[in-house]
Every structure is written in structure tokens, then in C-alpha cells.
Structure 1
Amino acid sequence: MADGSEVALRDLAEYLADDMAACNRAIVERMDSPVALIPQLAAHLVAAGGKRLRPLLTLASARLCGYKPDATHQRHVALAACVEFIHTATLLHDDVVDESTLRRGLASANAIFGNKASVLVGDFLFARSFQLMTDDGSLKVMGILSSASATIAEGEVLQMSTQNDLSTSIEKYLEVIHGKTAALFAAACRVGAVVADQPLKAEEALDSYGTNLGMAFQLVDDALDYAADQATLGKTIGDDFREGKITLPVLTAYTAGSEEDRAFWRRVIEESEQKPGDLEHALELIARTNAIGITLDHATRYAEAASQALDMFPPSRLKQLLQDTASYTVSRLR
């Protein structure tokens, strides 16, 4: 049975079906290249599917703000494709850095095509995204999306610097997930207001919606690494644990644990000395300290803030769908 988040995203996608179909066509068209490996790897990414949440947010935000495209110029569609290219490029690079073998339940691109191809095609997609920004012609749009791209890179580097470090503060962890995830959610939403020529107040409201939604989304993702089955997660369970990533469930369990528990976490996370059965013991400690519940509480507060950020907009079906998307993001953990 689909959970609430899947239903909310399905409803949002159905509401924007024509725009999303146009966006998918733009993605496929812009992934074309005379260099054969690029469309081959791109076809693998398209076949892997995914929620396409970020481009949906751009399309939804533009429509919420009253944007009415003409037959020949659909800025919201092109920018939604741009947002997806930025996101996909970061995924390609992340899988190489993390040495991941699964993405969305299928073999990752680097597992099939190799690390070099994944990095270079990621670079290609970044370049395509900047071509789309240039084609749009708005320096404001380019500023928003290019700043988000830089922030994503900073977030990934910051995450690498906190890896295996249990002294990382919760504030630093939240800074990491803001950079690696929430910044692009915010930019995806904000450009929707810009193309609709809305005042700064609307831009800021959608920026806040995207930021808070992105924070909730990543908190839930981090918790799912310790609370989901592999089919649900779409990647190998315990990847974050094996890589020594510092996430809120780990920080919570470490802080609340006994000295014996903390010694365990130091061995498996800081010293990277992991043995058979360690993941199972980590799951026990996380359950004992209610680390998933505490992470869910954080995510819920962000989701509520996202929904409230849309209060300035008049009631509409699309506004309700966006608020439902925020509310149900946390349902993946329930």
C-alpha cells in the first residue's frame, strides 16, 4: 500500500501532468549528445525513474504564482529540467564519492559505467543546467540556481569533513543537510515565483517552503537508513552506517547511550572498525534511545513550517497539494 507521501506526490504529479510531460521531454532532449556514452548513461538514469520532486516543485510554484506560459515559451518547464539536471549531476558525483552500488533500487550508474564516466556525465549535466539558465535570460534566475549549485557542493564537502566525527554538533549536521538538500529545494521553489513576476514576499515564502520541506525530506531519508527495508529505501540498508556518516539518529543514540554504547559507536563510526553483527547492534541502540522518533519530531517541525510558509497564498487545489506534500513527507517513517 502506498504511504501518504507517495499519494501526495502522485496527486501533485497528476495535477501537473501536462507540465511534467513537457519537462520530461525537455530532459530527454537536452540529454542527447553525439558522444554515445552520454545518452546511454542518461537512458539508464531515466529508466531508474525517481520522484522528480524538485522539478515538480518548480512547476507547482510557478503555477501557484499564476504563471501562464505561451505556446512557444515555457520558462517554468525549462527551469524545472534545469533543476533536475543539477540534482542528477550531484547524484552521479555522490555515488562515486560514496562508492554506492544501488540507486533507486537499481544498480547505480557508477556500478555499470564506472566512476570516470559517472563523474564526466555529471559534469555534462551541470553544463547543460547552466545552458538552460542562460537560455532563460534572467540574471536573477541564474543567481538563484548557481548559488544553490555552489551551496550543494559546499554541503557535500562539509559532510565529508564531518564524516566519522561523533563530536559533530546537531547544528553542524543541520548545516550539512541544508547545503546538500534543502538549498536546491528552496531554489526550485523560488524560481517559480520569479518566472511569474511575483513580489519578493512570494519569493521568500516559496523559498521558506522549499527550505523546510528539504530539511524534513533529508531528516527522514537519514532515519530510513536505520528504519526501512532495502526495497523501500532504494539503496543498501546501512550504507550511511558503513560509510561512517554522521546523521541525527547516530548523534542521538551516541549522546543518549551508556559509556559502553558510546565506545561501540566510536569503534564503528570514528575508527571504522566494523564486524559482522555491528549493524544489528546499532539498530538495537537506535531503537533503545528512540533516535528514530526524535528524528521524526525534528522532521515534523520542519514539515509544519513548510506548510505554514504558504499561508500568504489564497486557498487553491495546488496550495493544498503542496501542503499535503509537506505534511506527508514524514509519513515515510510511520
Structure 2
Amino acid sequence: MSLDTAAVKPHEALGAMLETEMAAVDRLIHERMVSENAPRIPEITAHLVDAGGKRLRPMLTLASAKLCGYDGPYHVHLAATVEFIHTATLLHDDVVDESDKRRGRPTANLLWDNKSSVLVGDYLFARAFQLMVEPGSLRVLEILSNASATIAEGEVLQLTASRNLATNEDVYLKVIRGKTAALFSAATESGAVIADAQPEHITALRAYGDALGIAFQIVDDLLDYGGSTSATGKNIGDDFRERKLTLPVIKAVAQADDQERAFWRRVIEIGKQGDDDLEHACHLLAKHNTLEETRVEALDWATKAKSALAPLPATDIKDVLIDLADFVVARVS
């Protein structure tokens, strides 16, 4: 049985191992998302926080801390911090992308408005910084604050690069390392740091989070051209309609003839799209085998994630983290 169809999936197994800690994280999130003066803040936050997401990033923080032998209370604060940062970026992303669906539900900007989504996202970033200070670790503060800056940098880079046919795979990697992998690696690294882990273990968990996040985003981009709405929680073809140059398209553009390049320029750079253009784009991706090439890259990053864990001691949590890397790419493997 594949991990994708297993009765108990790795993130569910990890959640069971961390049930007590995750309950504490949820309590802390709900305590800190309250605002006495602006009731719209908890309304919008709850719309995302309670939408049934996997809570993968906070679980990675807790798992890394426990894997490194931590028995204090502050991994809960760091996990809540990571979830607040993630939720804030989702609110901002949906405004920038003009999205109308997130996790299978209408986006906050659709239900409320863009201004509310942006301002509540700002509030959650502020809450995240309040939380990350409480453990009293300058190193943890450095990791998470740097990640926040890197995420914003990645999103701005995507704005300038995603509609430019000159964007290559190196730039794409910078974008996804910023907007997605930075928070994965900060989650795993901060958990290890709060546990005062050995330097090689901190490095290993940081590398694991980075590779896992890259694999995660490549799979997400791949499924936009070949997945299902139920699998992705968003509309299929959203990246195409939003004129995002993701890896399958970048690979196709690199192999395009003059006629194909003119098509990509019209639909991506100029933004003039017709009813049949998504179908034609998928035809070009199939012609140049770029979906398969992208799938192979996702699998390679998942392998890197698993290999990064080699220095860490053998434990049940380590085994589940290895399975998690396989699970992230199970939908395309």
C-alpha cells in the first residue's frame, strides 16, 4: 500500500505522537488570535486556522524538539509562532494572487475584503513576533525573524519573476526556497535549537526542512497542471490563470520553438488568455515531457530530505519524518 492510500498517513501518525503538544499549540493559537478591539481579527483567523489544514509546520517544530530530547514548554510557543507566520502569509498570498479558494473553501479576501485580509495578516505577524520572543532565545529569534524576511523576499521575487519568460530554474528555486522552504527549515531548525541540540543535528534538521519544503512546493506546482481540486484544495489551472511561471512551464519554455514561445509570451507575459489556452499549455507540457521531469525533481528533493536525517539517532519520530518526505511526493510518485 502506498503512503498516499495508507490507513494512517505520516502526518496523522506524527499528530498522534504529538497529540498533547498539538492540543497545547491549538489552545495557545486561539488564545493569542483574540482581539478585544477588533472582532474581525479572530473571525478571519479562525476561518483559516480552523479550516482543517494538516498543521504540518508546527508539527515539524514539535517533532524536531522532541527528536533532540527537549522536555521544556517553549516548543509549543515556537510551533504556534510558525503557524501564525504561515497563516499570515496565506492571507497575504490570496490577496496578491486574487484567489477565491483555499483548502477547498472560499478565501478570506472573498468572504470579507482585501483590506481586512492584509491587516489581519499583519496582526498575525505581530503576534508571531510576540510569541517568538517568549522563549528568551536570541538564536531562535534570529532563525524565525530571518525566515519571515526571507518569505516576504521570496514573494516579491515571484512578483517580478513569475511573468518573465527569462526566468530560469535557478530563479524558480530561489522563489520557492523563499516563499515555502524557508518556513519549513525554520520550523525544524528552531525546534532543534530550543532543545540545545548538537550542531550537526541542528544542521541536519535545517537541511531536512529545506529539502522537504522544496519537494512540497514542486509537487504543488506540478499538481496545478495534473491534479484534482480535492487533492490541492484550489482550482486546477490557477497558476496558469495567474500567469505564474512554475517549474513545468519554465522547462517547456526552455525547449519551445518560436511558435510555442509566442504562445507562452501571450498567455504569461502579456496575459491574453482564451478558453482553450490551458488545454494547449498542458499539450505543450506533455509534448516536452516537462511534467515527468518536474516529478523526478520532486522525488530527488524528497530523497535529499530523507538523507539529511542520517546523523540523527534512530527513533519513532525520525522514522515518521522519513515517511513524511515520501508522503509529500506520494501523489506524484
Once the two structures are TM-superposed, the CA of residue 37 in structure 1 deviates from its matched residue by 0.7
Match of 2:229 in 1: 230
Aligned partner of residue 77 in structure 2, secondary structure: helix
Q: Separation in 1 of the partners of 2:50 and 2:75? A: 24
Q: Separation in 2 of the partners of 1:121 and 1:188? A: 22
What are the equivalent positions in structure 2 for 1:47-126 lying under 5 Å apart?
47-69=50-72, 74-126=73-125
Match of 1:33 in 2: 35
C-alpha spacing 1:312/1:4, structure 2 compared with 1 (3 Å): farther
Q: What per-residue deviation string (whole Å, max 9, x for no partner) do you get for residues 273-332 of structure 1?
A: 100111111112112222111111111111111111111112111101001101221112
Match of 1:241 in 2: 240
Match of 1:325 in 2: 324
Q: Separation in 2 of the partners of 1:308 and 1:163? A: 31
Match of 1:300 in 2: 299
Which ranges in structure 1 are unaligned for 5 or more consecutive residues? none
C-alpha spacing 1:212/1:4, structure 2 compared with 1 (3 Å): farther
Once the two structures are TM-superposed, the CA of residue 46 in structure 1 deviates from its matched residue by 2.5
What are the equivalent positions in structure 2 for 1:184-263 lying under 5 Å apart?
184-263=183-262
Q: Separation in 1 of the partners of 2:210 and 2:158? A: 18
Across the aligned residues of Structure 1 and Structure 2, the Cα RMSD in angstroms comes to 1.4
Aligned partner of residue 71 in structure 2, secondary structure: coil
Task: Provide TM-score, normalisation by structure 2.
Answer: 0.96
Q: What per-residue deviation string (whole Å, max 9, x for no partner) do you get for residues 50-81 of structure 1?
A: 11111010000001001112xxxx10111100
From 38, 42, 45, give the equivalent of 1:42.
45
Once the two structures are TM-superposed, the CA of residue 149 in structure 1 deviates from its matched residue by 0.3
Q: Separation in 2 of the partners of 1:211 and 1:129? A: 21
Which ranges in structure 2 are unaligned for 5 or more consecutive residues? none
Q: What per-residue deviation string (whole Å, max 9, x for no partner) do you get for residues 137-159 of structure 1?
A: 11111000000000000000000
Q: Separation in 2 of the partners of 1:13 and 1:330? A: 19
Q: Is 1:209–1:306's contact at 8 Å kept on the other side of the alignment?
A: yes
Q: Is 2:3–2:326's contact at 8 Å kept on the other side of the alignment?
A: no
Match of 1:171 in 2: 170
Match of 1:24 in 2: 26
Q: Separation in 2 of the partners of 1:9 and 1:61? A: 14
Q: Is 1:4–1:332's contact at 8 Å kept on the other side of the alignment?
A: no
Counterpart code for 2:53: G
Q: Separation in 1 of the partners of 2:135 and 2:238? A: 39
Aligned partner of residue 9 in structure 2, secondary structure: helix
* Corresponding pairs, count: 330
Q: Is 1:227–1:333's contact at 8 Å kept on the other side of the alignment?
A: no
Once the two structures are TM-superposed, the CA of residue 241 in structure 1 deviates from its matched residue by 0.5
Q: Separation in 2 of the partners of 1:330 and 1:226? A: 15
Once the two structures are TM-superposed, the CA of residue 47 in structure 1 deviates from its matched residue by 2.8
Once the two structures are TM-superposed, the CA of residue 181 in structure 1 deviates from its matched residue by 0.6
Name the % identity: 55
Aligned partner of residue 136 in structure 1, secondary structure: coil
Q: Separation in 1 of the partners of 2:15 and 2:208? A: 18
Once the two structures are TM-superposed, the CA of residue 4 in structure 1 deviates from its matched residue by 5.4
Q: Separation in 2 of the partners of 1:139 and 1:316? A: 29
Match of 1:11 in 2: 13
Once the two structures are TM-superposed, the CA of residue 199 in structure 1 deviates from its matched residue by 2.2
Runs of 4+ in 1 over 4 A off after TM superposition: none
Match of 1:150 in 2: 149
Aligned partner of residue 225 in structure 2, secondary structure: coil
Match of 1:180 in 2: 179
Counterpart code for 2:39: A
Q: Separation in 2 of the partners of 1:4 and 1:12? A: 16
Once the two structures are TM-superposed, the CA of residue 237 in structure 1 deviates from its matched residue by 1.3
Q: Is 2:185–2:207's contact at 8 Å kept on the other side of the alignment?
A: yes
